A and B are shown apart, each in its own frame.
Chain A
Amino acid sequence: MKHPFQIVAVNNAGDLLCTATKNHIQVFKISSGERIGQWTDEADNTESIKEKILKEQERQKILKQQELEEKAAKAAEEGTPESSEEPPKKKKKKSKNKNNDGEPKIPTPGPGAPTIYNYIRTLKFSRNGKYLIGTTDSDKSVVIFEIDLSNNENILKLIKRQPFPKRPSSITTSYDDSEILLGDKFGDVYSTKVDTQEARVVNSEAEPILGHVSMLTDVLIGKKNDEQFIFTADRDEHIKISKFPQSFIVKHWLFGHEQFVSKLLIPSWNEDLLISGGGDDYIFLWDWSKESNQLLDKFNISEIVEPYINESHLAPSRFQNENNDLQETCISDIITIPGLPNIIAVLVEATNVVFLLKLESNKISLDKIIELDSKIISITSSNNQIIASVESEDNLLRSIDINTKTVSNELSESFKKITENSFVEIPSKDELYPLYPVFQLRKRSEH
């Protein structure tokens, strides 16, 4: 069977569909379904792990050496003869550390450990549409592709591959597309230039430009009076706004979420607004440009989601209530639609509906619920449609016409072609990569 697309993204012109499946990126022509670009992450992460371990061992050695030298110097200074007790102690220590000096051991998961999936976790077009940017798990890299439409073989030209110390979890570009900001699993934000360097594999020693002490879930750049700001969201309910590029100046925090934040959006039709969602029952609407009273509205989605909840939304047994009916939903995507101002499309993870919400006079209201025949994994939009990747066997994509706000069959032929042309096959459903990973962000504090 064909593996469903984990991420879909349409370019600005609305004619290309980029997809991420496992460690593969594919680009299709929407009109014909032809595959015109592809890239597979073939990096092996054992080498980079080895390198890191060696580096740390080396550092520890140097530190120990320094410590010994300092002690020796001190002893010499004080004129005390080396005590007879110390040397045997040191010898003991050395023999203990012996096994550390050899070939670095690559940690391998023990039996019963959860499967490790290496896949493309983020995929985004630059604002000008010239570049496609993704992140890899294998070597924790940002990969930047130039879209080269003149190349008939493959329009994806890898221009840069920049590894980072921790796994990237979100990306955005500066307004002029010259810089990429990347948020990682450890809460740090790094910046890297979009330049046409040869693809290279080096470990970055760069310092983060800002950080949280919590996994970052989304990073955005917004603008107010020609001043740019970075928005960062994390697993600890925080949304922080810092200046850019003076990222050491924190503008303020947006307080209100009671669960992790998974998604931030600044709508193109009003850049003073910020919409956020995550593990809460609410979608939050903020005026981030204000200094205080930034929360404009909270829209309760739990009621409208209720009919579409399925067994996958039940809380894990360890955290379940007495009646075994505790359900947990989270927002996995919030997008704007170029042809529909004042409307946002919201995806609640592992449901088969897209909610269109209307923003009017700083209030959010329900515009339309669009139900599909299969569970939705990822959504993207162009001028005239919302494209959804779904968990289905025959056709991996669905289209929603934004004029009629209904499911459209117009493109079903080319979508079938795209499905056929996708080369990522799996023998059975058991081999599926994670399609709905957002719910794992929920905090389970135990002590």
Chain B
Amino acid sequence: RAHSNPFSDHKLEYPRSPDQMNWSKFYPKFVDETTGKLSKQVTIADIGCGYGGLMIDLSPAFPNNLILGMEIRVQVTNFVEDRIIALRQQHFKEDKFQNINVLRGNAMKFLPNFFQKSQLEKMFFCFPDPHFKQRKHKARIITNTLLSEYAYVLKEGGIIYTITDVKDLHDWMVKHLDEHPLFERLDENFEKNDECVKIMFNSTEEGKKVERNKGDKFFKCYKRLPDHPKL
């Protein structure tokens, strides 16, 4: 299935609170043997990671960051899980792809169950479901109300990356991010020099599909501002 209703009560597993989340099984190579605890926190999140292409390209670029993909569709999540297991086995000797993993979850509902305040450095929203109908707009992954929750889990200076091939959705995301007091648009200079922008533009399965169909790709990045509002 290409779509999933973010409002319905899926049978989801999620921790009661971020304190109760057990990340060790997701990143076993990062478990400190003496304490049995994870030596790092997840700092990069790919919301709606789809088939995982972005994470796989981010993995070598950010070897010291833990990267998590969240995906609401069961089959897609299973596919990415298998893909990561296979990659880890293939690159067993070099310890590659140990810093990425995926979980099935509804980020729109339960993001604060997984992440502490200011935990994340980067959040990616790549080719999200466009939800064309007006009455479905609340189901879009970027809304002014959800941005406040993303701002909560992002640290100051943290970055939101958005990319889509749907102009209408792009305009929507830009409008809401521009209007939100806790986000500031990043300029072309940033876009040209940021490594993640390049990876995001070229790596996702959806992005490659758009390229094959010679479609447009629209993207924008935003920085998390400190809590005091814009004047």
Contacts and interface: CB of A to CB of B under 8 A. Distances in A.
B65 interface: no
A248 B152 CA distance: 9
Contact of A445 (B10, B134, B145): B10
A253 B153 CA distance: 11
Interface string B118-138: 000000000000001111001
Contacts of B146: 211, 213
A188 B181 CA distance: 18
Contact of B148 (A56, A250, A444): A250
B115 to A, nearest CB: 11
B203 interface: no
B227 interface: yes
Interface string A186-214: 11100000000000000000011011111
Interface string B154-168: 000000000000011
A447 B112 contact: no
A247 interface: yes
A253 B149 CA distance: 10
Contact of B16 (A55, A258, A446): A258
Interface string B97-120: 000000000101110110001000
A447 B104 CA distance: 13
A242 B148 contact: yes
Interface residues of B, number: 37
A43 interface: no
B181 A248 contact: yes
Given A188-B145, A256-B16, A214 B109 contact: yes
Interface of A: 52, 55-56, 59-60, 63, 70, 186-188, 207-208, 210-214, 236-238, 240, 242, 246-250, 252-253, 255-256, 258, 443-447
Given A186-B7, A248-B181, 12 more contacts: A52-B135, A60-B133, A70-B167, A187-B145, A211-B146, A213-B109, A236-B110, A240-B112, A248-B182, A250-B151, A253-B112, A446-B9
Interface of B: 6-7, 9-12, 16-17, 19, 106, 108-110, 112-113, 117, 132-135, 138, 143-149, 151-152, 167-168, 180-182, 227, 229
9 contacts: A59-B134, A186-B138, A213-B6, A214-B7, A237-B16, A248-B229, A249-B227, A250-B148, A255-B16
